[in-house]
Amino acid sequence: MLPYLVIVGAYLLGSISSAVLVARAMGLPDPRTQGSGNPGATNMLRVGGKKAAAITLLGDALKGLLPMLLAHALGMAPGMLALTGLAAFLGHLYPLFFGFRGGKGVATALGVQFGLHWLIGLSVALLWLLVAKVGRISSLAALVSMALAPLVVWMVWPAKELVAMQTVITLLLFWRHRSNIRNLLEGKEKKIGS
């Protein structure tokens, strides 16, 4: 029974929109109505600056990290770990508390990855940083790092349930970034900080 409560709790925690709460606390406009309309760290950088973006990034990552750490502490099997991570991620994408209108999931996915195994999280984070440094486009960095994430999971912890979880997260993340992919193909995607 307890593992199932953890999974439900992961979804509910994921449903807390860090960007919206940070915007309210800092007296900023709702990020869902500004910039790209995405309640995530990159849009918060445009809407409220570096501090708002950093707090949002941390909050979104913790939504993925904390449920995974709890699941590990309870000794949950790989299948239940996978469901916990997926629940947290889905909570961010489709938040119960914010009309099922959530973000694109990059930071929360990274939190799940760090919670699954530190080496997985670190590897994906370094891939993101490398692509962001070279290309200066946040969405491109997210897409490349998350495209490679199932391979990273397989190399570090080759449990089929965990690789499947990461594959589903990657596919959903690509779906949520479909407008960014279109902009990238057309050469219209905004650079970091623009």
pLDDT digits (tens, 9 = 90+) for 97-106: 988 989 999 9
Calpha distance 66→62 (Å, rounded): 6
The residue whose two tokens read 């570096």 is 50
The answer on pLDDT for 36 being more than 90 is no
194 inside domain: no
Provide mean pLDDT across the span 54-66. Answer: 97
Asked if residue 126 is part of any domain, the answer here is yes
The answer to whether the beta carbons of residues 108 and 133 sit under 8 Å apart is no
On whether residue 19 sits in a domain, the answer given is: yes
| 94 part of a folded domain | yes
Number of domains in the chain: 1
22-36, 66-80, 179-193: range with highest mean pLDDT: 66-80
- Ordered alpha helix ranges (H), the chain: 2-14, 18-25, 41-48, 50-73, 78-93, 106-116, 118-135, 138-156, 160-176, 178-186
191 inside domain: no
Domain containing residue 47? 2-186
User: How confident is the model at residue 193, as a pLDDT?
Assistant: 65
pLDDT at 79: 97
pTM: 0.94
Give a yes or no: residue 109 inside a domain.
Answer: yes
Instruction: List pLDDT tens digits, range 128-141.
Output: 999 999 999 999 99
Q: Are 68 and 58 within 8 A, CB to CB?
A: no
In a domain, 79, yes or no: yes
> Which residue shows structure tokens 């919670």?
115
In a domain, 131, yes or no: yes
